[in-house]
Chains A and B, each alone.
Chain A
Amino acid sequence: MQNKTAGRKDIWSVITLGILLLYALVLVLPLFTLLKESIFKDGALSFEHFGEFFGKKYYYSTLFNSLKVTVAVTLASLVIATPLAYIMTTFKIKGKLYLQILILISSMAPPFIGAYAWILLMGRNGVVTNFLSDVFHITTPDIYGFSGILIVLTLQLIPLIYMFMMGAFKSIDNSLIEAAESMGYTGFKKVWKVIMPLMVPTILAGSLLVFMRALADFGTPMLIGEGFETLPVLIFNEFTSEMGGNAGFAAAISVIVVVIALTIFLLQKFITNKKSFSMSALHPIKEKKESGIKNILAHLFVYGYLALAILPQLYVVYTAFLKTSGRIFVKGYSLDSFKAAFTRSGDTIVHTFTLGLIALFFVILIAILIAYVTVRRRNAITNGLDIISMVPYIVPGSVLGVALLLGFNNKPFLLSGTATIIIIAFVIRRLPYTIRSSAAIIHQISPSIEEAAASLGASNLKTFFKITLPMMLPGVISGAILSWVTIISELSTSILLYTVNTKTMTIGIYTEVIRGNYGVAAALSTILIAITVISLLIFFKLTGRKEVSL
């Protein structure tokens, strides 16, 4: 119910306008500059950049590469995540609780570490490659290019759909299944005709998330793609090219990426609106202990997936403890790589913490305020704020990086090269997720709690700080940990924005891998993974949850 009494034109209107202005400055302005750069050349309106892109095979093939990767990754994730979630819901699996946690941790580790790990194992000089050719004289298939990207991104993104599906499976009431069984639907027919149709909205939502991530991912194709270039890689290369970057051209490619993302986003929204229904289960599906071949296959599937997802990253951690001579690993163990990491890249650890924590502070603050006004003060302005804050969801990191650099390249907003611009990037990229989770918390708080405070004479701000915020706090803290984990593994925007003074660990790992300093890269990766795992363990401990929603 809309409440418009005299008291409603209150402090919250001021806060809403303030945040809107901020967004106009740090997001809308750069995106407009990006658009302007893409369609102007030498001061005149021209579509030459677009013509150039679609005119040369070298350029437009990246568009097909990107679509190929994105569609393949989305399908592959779906094909593996669906049975995984189904098995985890309906089967009794040994060590399920720990498996859940491991699946989540595997998804939160920085994606390019996965790429790096697969290079270490299956690359030209990889251990598995060498082992197979030395012992069995088998030449392994090439990991570089499309296949490598597909493997790494799929393994990375399966948990995203998996988490969506687990939530949906939990909301299917067991009586629906029993009703279907009583009408003769059993086994595969039951799954295909009864359960899967109920999962359609979830599958769509999860697929969209995976699609966006795969489309926007920069680190994986950059490291393992080699000749197989995707759009984000092309944007980066064109923008930073040593032969004088071409900002206008990079901007034009960025516009193309955003158009693709927007199209898919709207398409998904359209289909979901037509197909959506809500469920809640009084009696969720119970797990059953199976026996025989079914049981063995189920365990094989789950453990097999997890081994593929985690072992490569563990191998990276293992190599961090190997002795190195120059750039090559030699026999024996030592902590030299860590020593080198601290002396050469110690400042990247410091930067990760300072930039990350400052960004985290603003993410939480702004997310809480936006979530509050969009839930409790619904009107045209707060709706607008809601939409603007979701824009970064469809703008890939590299595009945002280019936009920010173009937008803040000149006075009075000369920010390029500063820590501020990186913090801005972190904040706007993470906000959509944190706003969603904070809004979900506010939805759970009855409005009458705030009315009770008002009826007792408390002002709006007092009510917020004394009542609403303390009630939100547990949810906000767990949301903050997830934000923290994603912020520290951010690569695609910061790699465009960083300078020596703002280089973070992810950029450190990336540059060391490119230079071939595998020992240092492994040590830094190990530290980053350790921070991630510890943060997530704190999250699980704090919330008592076994799942994460991004």
Chain B
Amino acid sequence: MSVTISFNNVIKKYNDKPVISGLSLDIKKGEFFTLLGPSGCGKTTLLRMVAGFNSIEGGEITFDDKVMNRITPQHRNIGMVFQNYAIFPNLSVKNNVAFGLKNRKIPKDEIERRVDHILDVVQISQFKNSMPENLSGGQQQRIALARAIVMEPNVLLMDEPLSNLDAKLRVDMREAIKLIQHEVGITTVYVTHDQEEAMAVSDRIAVMNSGVIQQVGTPREIYQRPANIFVSNFIGRTNIVERSLKKVDNRQVLIMDENYQIDLDDITQYAEEIIKVSIRPEEFTISDTSEGMAGVIQHNVFLGINVHYTVQLSNGENVEVTEESTLGEPLEPGTEVKLLVNKEKINLFHYESEKNILEGDSYAK
């Protein structure tokens, strides 16, 4: 039985110092929702407020319109998965998973049935009677997940559940988590600082910084149309350059350098001003014609699929450029090149507010 979660103007203070001041957000029923941000941005604090481990100093958090502020964690019907797994080391795998069910005074045979079922779902049935200390990190995290969802909670909360696992296992486990979440359909709030992991598992993501939500959107939205410079920098890699918008013969153009200008047909309201332009490395192409921004290759790094170049522009700025690798040696440092920009993909930000000028998929046709 999953629920919607609403945050209405929620405030969190530590020792009278506000860390979250007035945050509002709605999480849909059955949604896989991720709070993403750098460490210290308040994402874990927010998650622990949903769980009831942190107090709420103002506003309210509701599950399906029921205010949760004063309800203890024991009575919120949540399932929580912790960064360090928090497996009870003194109980066997089976008893870890059955711990919450036993507390609810559910008949023995039903507990047995539900535990067996959930161990099947997370694929650790063969360790049913083992003690946790003999299991690997990935297996322990599966126990933690099973222990949380066997309770059929209204909300599943996960606090950086994969950050203690090694890289390969992390990828395997995030697939497993996403699959299991879809299977059981519980509203899930997931906290991570790893943007790739967030993109891989989430239906929607809220990017947070300094206790404030910067943007809420699907993984594609936040990558392709970041709401502001922070999001654009935090999600993936990007180059931020300052350039002028000009009106030339009733056309809106972006002056990249004296020889390279881009027509921006869709923008009308911004006449002439300096803006910040975010161009991801893959949004550049190294031109084989004479058109483009002039630059000189500084370094190259061969990474298999791609080659990364650092290119110095004629005004002295360095930008990162990614090209699909080709047979033969990459371009040597010192080579003069021309760079073209994929104008549909780049993002333009207001100079002062650093907010995105473009709206939605204005170029996607």
Contacts and interface: CB of A to CB of B under 8 A. Distances in A.
Interface of A: 1-7, 446, 448-449, 451-459, 462, 466-467, 470-471
Contacts of A470: 90
Given A451-B80, A454-B53, A456-B148, 16 more contacts: A2-B14, A4-B55, A5-B52, A5-B72, A6-B71, A6-B72, A448-B82, A451-B73, A453-B88, A454-B74, A455-B51, A455-B78, A456-B99, A456-B151, A458-B99, A466-B99
A446 B80 contact: no
17 contacts: A5-B53, A5-B55, A6-B72, A7-B52, A446-B82, A446-B86, A449-B87, A449-B88, A451-B73, A451-B86, A452-B80, A455-B51, A457-B77, A458-B74, A458-B103, A459-B74, A467-B90
A451 B51 contact: yes
Contacts of B72: 5-7, 454
A456 B74 CA distance: 7
A380 to B, nearest CB: 14
A461 to B, nearest CB: 11
A471 B82 contact: no
A456 B95 CA distance: 13
Nearest to A470: B90
Interface string B122-151: 000000000000000000000010011001
A458 B52 contact: no
A3 B86 contact: no
A466 B51 CA distance: 21
A455 B73 contact: yes
Contacts of A466: 99
A449 B144 CA distance: 11
Nearest to B97: A456
Given A457-B103, A457-B151, A471 B74 contact: no
A326 to B, nearest CB: 59
B83 interface: yes
Contacts of B99: 453, 456, 458, 466
A457 B54 CA distance: 16
A458 B100 contact: yes
Contacts of A3: 53-55
Contacts of B79: 455-456
B70 interface: yes
B328 interface: no
B80 A455 contact: yes
Contact of A471 (B71, B89, B147, B148): B89
Given A451-B80, A457-B151, A459-B74, A5 B90 contact: no
Q: Which of B53, B70, B87, B147: most chain A CB closer than 10 A?
A: B53
Given A2-B14, A451-B82, A457-B151, A462 B88 contact: no
B104 interface: yes
A452 B104 contact: no
A451 B100 contact: no
Contacts of B88: 449, 452-453, 467, 471
Given A6-B70, A448-B82, A471-B90, A456 B103 contact: yes
Given A451-B51, A451-B80, A457-B104, A7 B86 contact: no
Contacts of A457: 74-75, 77, 100, 103-104, 151
B8 interface: no
Given A458-B99, A471-B89, A471-B90, A5 B151 contact: no
Interchain residue pairs A-B with the least CB separation, the first 7: A456-B100, A7-B72, A452-B86, A455-B80, A448-B86, A448-B82, A470-B90
B84 interface: yes
Contacts of B144: 452
Contacts of B147: 452, 456
Contacts of B15: 2
Nearest to A10: B72
Nearest to A458: B103
Nearest to B90: A470
Q: Which of B14, B84, B99, B100: most chain A CB closer than 10 A?
A: B99
A47 to B, nearest CB: 45
A7 B55 CA distance: 10
B140 to A, nearest CB: 12
B90 to A, nearest CB: 4
A454 B86 contact: no
Contacts of B71: 6
Contacts of B86: 446, 448-449, 451-452
A448 B147 CA distance: 14
Interface in B30-77: 51-55, 70-77
Nearest to B157: A455
Given A448-B82, A457-B100, A7 B74 contact: yes
A453 B104 CA distance: 13
A449 B89 CA distance: 9
Contacts of A453: 88, 99
A179 B90 CA distance: 43
A365 B79 CA distance: 32
Contacts of A1: 14, 54
A538 B90 CA distance: 22
Contacts of B100: 456-458
